[in-house]
Structure 1
Amino acid sequence: MSAPEVSEQPLLRVVKGAPDDYELAALTAVVAGLAAAVPVEEKPARRSEWANPVRRVRRPLQHGPGAWRASGFPG
């Protein structure tokens, strides 16, 4: 099994300043962690029940004793 090829270009390049080995190691760890992070799936915004289209459909009204009380119950 052969070793993977090493790229000639560095992954990171210091443009300004002179970081020491510990600062470069910390930067490399952060960049590698961000690159390997799995994007979080955003949950869809929860819609208000008032905006639910099912609420626009009314069930038939019941007739008879106690019908006025049953008309206030959710269907």
Structure 2
Amino acid sequence: MSEEQTPEERRALFRVVSGDPTPEELAALTVVLAAAASGGGEPAPKPRSLWGHPSAGVRRPLEVGPGAWRASVLPR
């Protein structure tokens, strides 16, 4: 069993040792193994809600001038 491996075989991620898979089956297996190997890492942190942030209790200064009533209700 000490066969000499070619450079392509040493670089390969996996090899088929029995059977005769079609190119489509090999492609599907490659996709599954690549997805499993990527692992996805840690999930992205959830964005923090600013609802309870201390600055929410502080009122903005009132706007003066034309359109001030509209600016008073727009989000910051």
TM-score range, shorter chain: 0.3 to 0.5
Q: TM-score, normalised by structure 1?
A: 0.39
Q: Higher relative contact order at CA 8 Å, sep ≥6: structure 1 or structure 2?
A: 1
